């Protein structure tokens, strides 16, 4: 259920939903947050450092400035610290050209994705995190694969830290996850040697985004300035589950035809992620794993 709380020109947006256990969840936000931050913090002249691994979206910080009320500030200095991780050596980005175009949310889509995911899981002998943007799609793919993989499978729904801990204790396991697992979860070493991102993480439309869209003269401008940068930030957060230490190695696969070479968002994807080795065939994925992992990994 969505409703607008119109105390002052529709300033507050209230979102009420139910989780999987039918318990109510209440979220509220204000479209005036940038103005509030500007008035309470930045206009007061206090020195501040804003730091995060995902403040930058694409080629700059304009979206972060806008969200945090810094769009008109002239005193801001931006800096990007280079990562200590050797992505070009230790990470392979797999964008398969063999993805079939299917109807969004259809059974055909779930079957097609399950086939690609199964081949990737077997290529790395488990050790896989599969990130979904849809719990419904996650459940469908999980049901297709649950009896066809020789590796332990764990499915994480909302607020399931115990399942994440169980995944970490299992050998050669596969974790199906969505929601909060896109960020803030640590899987160092060989726990995750294959990260599969099933769809590009575009945000679901909501009243706050609809209000933002009103400020733009055309839809392409809104997509360029809001939708794509938000997707890039979320993609970087998900990508961050792959390489957690300087010695980690991982294959990152994106199973979205819009991300592959020639796809609508291919350049936006590459701009959001660190430079890596690239692959378009599953054979290249298998060769990379053989080169990177010790022989005992396959036992």
Q: How confident is the model at residue 21, as a pLDDT?
A: 66
In 112-150, which positions are buried (b, 16+ CB within 10 angstroms) versus exposed (e)? bbbebbbebbebbbbbbbbbbbebebbbbbbebbeeebe
How far is it, in rounded angstroms, from Cα 192 to Cα 243? 9
Estimate to the nearest angstrom the gap between the alpha carbon of 243 and the chain centroid: 14
Going by pLDDT thresholds of 50, 70 and 90, the confidence category of residue 2 is very low
In eight-state DSSP terms, residue 151 is S
User: Cα angle vertex 262, ends 270, 257, to 5°?
Assistant: 80
Q: How confident is the model at residue 212, as a pLDDT?
A: 82
How far is it, in rounded angstroms, from Cα 218 to Cα 153? 45
Judge whether residue 295 has pLDDT over 80.
Answer: no
How far is CA 7 from each of CA 13, 37, 236, rounded to the nearest angstrom?
Answer: 10, 19, 36
Does the pTM of the predicted model rise above 0.85?
Answer: no
Tokens 């002239």 belong to residue: 74
Contacts of 231 (CB under 8 A, 6+ apart): 200, 201, 202, 203, 265, 268, 272
Q: CA torsion, points 146, 147, 152, 154, in degrees to nearest 10?
A: 20
Tokens 């010790």 belong to residue: 294
How far is CA 272 from each of CA 15, 55, 83, 161, 240, rounded to the nearest angstrom?
Answer: 30, 11, 14, 28, 12
Contacts of 295 (CB under 8 A, 6+ apart): none
Judge whether residue 228 has pLDDT over 70.
Answer: yes
Q: How confident is the model at residue 269, as a pLDDT?
A: 96
What's the longest Cα–Cα distance across the chain? 64
- Name the helix (H) or strand (E) containing 219: helix 219-222
How far is CA 159 from each of CA 107, 156, 177, 179, rounded to the nearest angstrom?
Answer: 27, 8, 11, 9
How far is it, in rounded angstroms, from Cα 151 to Cα 154? 10
Contacts of 97 (CB under 8 A, 6+ apart): 260, 261, 280, 281
How far is it, in rounded angstroms, from Cα 64 to Cα 287? 39
Task: Find, among 259, 126, 279, 151, the residue nearest to 198 by Cα.
Answer: 259
Estimate to the nearest angstrom the gap between the alpha carbon of 60 and the chain centroid: 19
Going by pLDDT thresholds of 50, 70 and 90, the confidence category of residue 140 is very high
Going by pLDDT thresholds of 50, 70 and 90, the confidence category of residue 267 is very high
C-beta neighbour count of 3 within 10 angstroms? 11
Q: What is the pLDDT of residues 155-182, one digit of tens each?
A: 998 667 888 999 999 989 999 999 888 9
Q: How confident is the model at residue 14, as a pLDDT?
A: 58
């Amino acid at each position: 259920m969505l409703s607008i709380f119109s105390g002052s020109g529709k300033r507050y947006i209230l979102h009420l939903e139910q989780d999987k256990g039918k318990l109510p969840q209440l979220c509220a936000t204000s479209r005036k947050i940038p103005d509030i931050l500007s008035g309470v913090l930045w206009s007061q002249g206090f020195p501040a450092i804003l730091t995060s691994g995902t403040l930058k979206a694409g080629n700059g910080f304009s979206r972060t400035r806008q969200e945090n009320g810094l769009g008109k500030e002239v005193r801001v200095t931006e800096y990007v610290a280079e990562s200590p991780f050797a992505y070009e050596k230790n990470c392979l980005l797999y964008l398969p050209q063999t993805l079939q175009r299917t109807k969004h949310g259809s059974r055909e889509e779930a079957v097609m994705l399950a086939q690609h995911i199964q081949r990737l899981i077997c290529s790395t002998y488990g050790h896989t995190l599969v990130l979904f943007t849809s719990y419904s799609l996650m459940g469908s793919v999980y049901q297709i694969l649950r009896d066809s993989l020789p590796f332990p499978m764990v499915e994480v729904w909302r607020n399931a830290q115990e399942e994440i801990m169980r995944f970490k204790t299992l050998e050669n396991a596969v974790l199906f996850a969505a929601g909060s697992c896109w960020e803030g979860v640590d899987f160092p070493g060989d726990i995750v040697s294959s990260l599969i991102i099933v769809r590009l993480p575009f945000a679901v439309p909501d009243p706050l985004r609809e209000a933002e869209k009103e400020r733009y003269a055309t839809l392409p401008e809104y997509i360029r300035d809001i939708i794509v940068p938000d997707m890039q930030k979320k993609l970087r957060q998900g990508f961050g589950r792959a390489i957690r230490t300087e010695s980690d190695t991982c294959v990152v696969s994106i199973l979205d035809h819009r991300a592959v070479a020639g796809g609508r968002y291919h350049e936006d994807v590459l701009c959001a992620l660190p430079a890596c080795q690239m692959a378009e065939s599953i054979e290249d994925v298998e060769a990379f794993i053989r080169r990177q992992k010790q022989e005992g990994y396959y036992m």
